[in-house]
Amino acid sequence: MSYEIVARPHQQNFIDWAKDKPEVLVLSADLTNSCEVGKWRDTYPERFFSMGMAEQNMMGMAAGLAREGFEPWLHTFSVFLYRRPLDQLQMSIAYPALKVRLVGFLPGIMTPGGVTHQAIEDIAILRSIPNMTVLEVGDATEAQSVLDVAHAVEGPVYIRMLRGEVSRIFPADEPFVLNKARILSVGTDITLITSGMATEEALRAIPLLQERGISISHLHVSTLKPFTDPQVVAALKSAKHGVITMENHSIIGGLGSAVAEVMAENAVGVPLQRIGLNDTYAHGASQKYLMAEYEMDAATLVKRVEKAIGRQLNIDESELQEQRSVSVHSSAKVEAL
C-alpha cells in the first residue's frame, strides 16, 4: 500500500485556516521553523509572539492572553510542553480551563534527538490532568483537520502533531472527529486499536494477517481524552481471542491503559496485549531502528497476533509491506532539532 506523501501538512494549512480567525495567536519557543510555523510568522507577524527558550513563562503568557479572549496556539516539541512547565500548564492553564492549544511535534520515538527530545509519557501525564483534551494525529488528513476540532473545545487541548513528510492515509474529505475512532477493518478474532504513527505501521502487517485468515477489527483512535467512544467498546466486546493496542508511547498511561480501563469497566474478558515502549526510555536513533529495537513495529504486531490466537502464521518479515522511511535530511524537514 502506498500513500500520497504530503510535505509539511501543517505549514500552509494553518495559515489558510487562521486567516479569518483574528483571535488565533502563535506562541513559539525557538522552534518556529521546526514546527512549520515560520511562514505563519511571516504572514501574520502581528499575531506571532516569540517567547524564547522559556516554556514556563510561555504557559503563563498564554494563560493571560486566553483570559483576555485570545486563542494562543503554542508550537514546540511535545516534550517541552509538559515536562519542565507542568506546574504552569496545570495551575495557569488547565485549572481555569482556558482555551490554549498546545501543539506538540515529534512525539514518542519519532525524533532521533534521544531521551531529552522523546515525549514517551506525555499522554499518560496529560490524560490525568482535569479539563485537558488530548488528541493525536495519525496522518496528513488529521494533521490538517485537527485544527477545527481543537478550536471548538472550550478548554485546553494538547495535540500530538506530525510534521515533515506525512502520509495521507485517510481521505482528505474524512476529517478528524472528536472522540470518534476510525474503523479501518471489521473482524471477530482480534481487536487492534492503534494511534498516531502506529496506525501506519500496523497497516503494513494487516493485509498479510488477513490473508492468513485472521479476522481483525482495526480501529484508529485519535482522541485519547475523552475516551468514551461507544464504537471502541463495541469493538472490544467483539474480540474473540484478544485485544492488542499499539502506540508510539509508553505502555503505561497511554492508549493501552485507556483501553484497559474501558475493558475492565465493560467486563471484556479477553487478554490485552499492549505494544509500545515497555516502561523504558529510548535513545537517539532512527525511528525505524527504534521501532524494531523496542518491539513497536509491524513484525512485533504479527508476533502478538500469533500469541493471541495460539498458532504460528509463518509470516516472514520480508513479506511485510515496505516501511516508509523518511531521510533525516529530507527537504521537508530542513530545520534542525
Q: Which of residues 101-130 bind other proteins (CB under 8 A)?
A: 130
Residue 60 within binding range of other proteins, rule CB under 8 A:
yes
**d(Cα 174, Cα 183) in Å, to the nearest integer?**
12
Give the nearer residue to other proteins in terms of CB position, either 55 or 229.
Answer: 55
Q: Which of 18, 63, 203, 263 binds other proteins (CB under 8 A)?
A: 63
| Beta-strand relationship, 133-136 and 157-160 | parallel
Q: DSSP 3-state assignment of 17?
A: helix
Q: Which residue, among 132, 178, 138, has the nearest Cα to 158 in the 3D structure? A: 132
Query: How far is it, in rounded angstroms, from Cα 312 to Cα 181?
Result: 30
Q: Which CB sits closer to other proteins, 33 or 57?
A: 57
Q: Is 51 among the residues that bind other proteins (CB under 8 A)?
A: yes
Q: Per rule CB under 8 A, is residue 67 in the interface with other proteins?
A: yes
15 class by beta-carbon count within 10 Å (0-12 exposed, 13-18 middle, 19+ buried): middle
Q: Does 88 bind other proteins (CB under 8 A)?
A: yes
Site track for other proteins across 130-169, x = CB under 8 A: xx---------------------xxx--------------
Rounded (10°) CA dihedral 65, 66, 69, 75: 80
Cell 487562521 locates to: 18
Contact status: 57 vs other proteins (CB under 8 A): yes
Whole-angstrom distance, CA of residue 6 vs CA of residue 333: 12
φ, ψ for residue 276 (rounded to 5)? 165, -170
Q: Are 291 and 126 in contact (CB under 8 A)?
A: no
- Min separation Cβ 65 and other proteins, Å: 4
Q: Which is nearer to other proteins, 85 or 187 (CB)?
A: 85
The reply to whether 178 sits near other proteins by the rule CB under 8 A is no
Q: Using the rule CB under 8 A, is 271 a contact of other proteins?
A: no
Q: Does 17 interact with other proteins (rule: CB under 8 A)?
A: no
Q: How far is the CB of 332 from other proteins (least distance, A)?
A: 31
Nearer to other proteins, 58 or 302 (CB): 58
Residue number with CB closer to other proteins (17 or 95): 95
Interacting residues with other proteins between 279 and 308 (CB under 8 A): none
Nearer to other proteins (CB atom), residue 70 or residue 289: 70
Grid cell in block for residue 124 = 499518560
* Least distance (Å) between residue 130 CB and other proteins: 7
Cell numbers 497476533 correspond to 305
CB 150 within 8 A of CB 159: yes
Binding span for other proteins by CB under 8 A among 54-62, 103-111, 186-194, 277-285: 54-62
Contact with other proteins (CB under 8 A) among 54, 270, 285, 332: 54
Are 73 and 21 in contact by the 8 Å Cβ rule? The answer is no
SS3 263: helix
Give whichever of 98 and 205 is closer to other proteins, judged by the CB atom: 98
Helix (H) or strand (E) holding 123: helix 122-127
With CB under 8 A, what is the number of residues at the site for other proteins?
Answer: 34
Q: Are the CB atoms for 263 and 255 separated by under 8 Å?
A: no
DSSP 324: P
Q: Does 49 bind other proteins (CB under 8 A)?
A: yes
- Cell numbers that stand for 271 in this block: 487478554
Q: Is 92 in the site for other proteins (CB under 8 A)?
A: yes
Shortest Å, Cβ 55 to other proteins = 8
Residues near other proteins, by CB under 8 A: 46, 49-52, 54, 56-70, 72, 87-88, 91-92, 95-97, 130-131, 153-155
